[in-house]
Amino acid sequence: MKETNRGLLEALTAQYKHLRMLYLVYLAVAVLALVFFFVDKRITLVLIAASLVYHLVVVRSRSRAYCLAFVHACLQSTLERTLQDARHTPESPLDPEEVRQVRLVAANPAKGSILTREGGTGTYRGRPVRLSDAGFTHSFSMAGKRHHEFVIGAWVTVELDHDTGLDCRLIHPKVMMKDSRDQALSRERDLQQVVSGLPDWMSREGWLVLRPRETPGLPEERFLTALHGLVGKTEPPLAVCVQGNKLHVFVTNRILGQKVSSRVEPGPAVVQSDFFPELGGVLKLSDAL
């Protein structure tokens, strides 16, 4: 185990043990209140009030701090696998409006229909990388009724050292529901679907390829080959956009913010597990641009 990961795990374990001790004290006060119920109910009321204040002021705040530390340990160790100068950030380094401008996943025009949280930053071969959990809400009509689609996943933006001259979107058919996707794209009148010149595997799987009418060209074959390799190793559907000097990749149903349990002591898996296994393949896509 790397020294940094060992330090993360040791600090997290110390926090866990301290939190469990606080819970035991809280439980002891509750039991004591029950005992005094048969002796003096006034003392019981005092103990119950004290235990509630103790839980709200002490236990709850320490529990929240432990949850933040747990997620930090998970993601910091994951990011350090593939990024240089990796840094986990509880707040998203990606602005929701920046994500909206990419026009990769359907979302309502109202503010708040795109949410970003829990992410990180770093570099890959000198290229700045930002990533974050992202959620999209889109309302659409289907069979005469109003429906709402919620799409969640991990969003990665890689800044290149040159302008590709491209503005192209490649979207797996399972990223969004077809009706939701079609109605969203009907509002993007400057985007046109590319139906010719696509690789056989992309046509066969039903990928949607879009680009502005005034921006001809698709990514080179080596990029499409790298994307095919990533898709073959990735279970969640992907959506990819090459736009100027940036590569955007959205991996559906991949959540960076981990579920935290205060009942189980954290073990080596916290810092040894890869909570974003697609990240390495996503970063290698930038090598083909």
Same domain assignment for residues 101 and 155: yes
**CA–CA separation, 21 vs 156, rounded Å?**
39
The confidence band for 260, taking pLDDT boundaries of 50, 70 and 90, is confident
Give the predicted TM-score (pTM) of the model: 0.88
Closest CA to 67 of 257, 273, 269, 274: 257
The stretches of the chain forming alpha helices (DSSP H) are: 3-36, 41-54, 60-79, 96-102, 178-185, 200-205, 221-233, 269-272, 279-285
Question: Does residue 195 register a pLDDT over 90?
Answer: no
The confidence band for 108, taking pLDDT boundaries of 50, 70 and 90, is very high
CA dist 54 → 35, 60, 68 (Å): 19, 9, 21
Element (H, E) at 287: none
Query: Rounded mean pLDDT of 261-268?
Result: 81
Q: Which two tokens stand for residue 248?
A: 């955007």
Same domain assignment for residues 72 and 124: no
Question: Does residue 170 register a pLDDT over 90?
Answer: yes
Name the pairing type of β-strands 191-193 and 246-252.
unpaired
What pLDDT sits at residue 1? 63
**CA–CA separation, 120 vs 89, rounded Å?**
5
**CA–CA separation, 175 vs 207, rounded Å?**
10
Which range is most confident: 205-209, 264-268, 269-273? 205-209
Same domain assignment for residues 102 and 60: no
Same domain assignment for residues 282 and 192: yes
Calculate the average pLDDT of the chain: 90
Same domain assignment for residues 72 and 125: no
The confidence band for 41, taking pLDDT boundaries of 50, 70 and 90, is confident
Of 53, 79, 105, the residue that ends a domain is 79
Query: Rounded mean pLDDT of 144-169?
Result: 95
What pLDDT sits at residue 241? 96
Question: Does residue 40 register a pLDDT over 80?
Answer: no
Same domain assignment for residues 144 and 213: yes
Question: Does residue 268 register a pLDDT over 80?
Answer: yes
Query: Rounded mean pLDDT of 20-34?
Result: 86
The confidence band for 197, taking pLDDT boundaries of 50, 70 and 90, is confident
Least confidently predicted of 44-48, 79-83, 84-88, 282-286:
44-48
Buried-state track 159-190, b at ≥16 Cβ within 10 A, e below 16: beeeebebbbbbbbeebbbeebbebbbeeeee
Same domain assignment for residues 69 and 93: no
Same domain assignment for residues 110 and 186: yes
Residue-wise pLDDT for 44-76, tens only, equals 888 888 888 888 899 889 998 988 898 899 999
Judge contact between 93 and 167, C-beta under 8 A: no
Question: Does residue 120 register a pLDDT over 90?
Answer: yes
Query: Rounded mean pLDDT of 186-208?
Result: 89
Same domain assignment for residues 66 and 170: no
Closest CA to 134 of 173, 176, 170, 99: 99
Least confidently predicted of 198-212, 227-241, 259-273:
259-273
Residue-wise pLDDT for 3-12, tens only, equals 778 888 888 8
Beta bridge partners of 150: 137
Same domain assignment for residues 161 and 24: no
Query: Helix (H) and strand (E) counts for the chain?
Result: 9, 9
Same domain assignment for residues 152 and 275: yes
What pLDDT sits at residue 5? 81
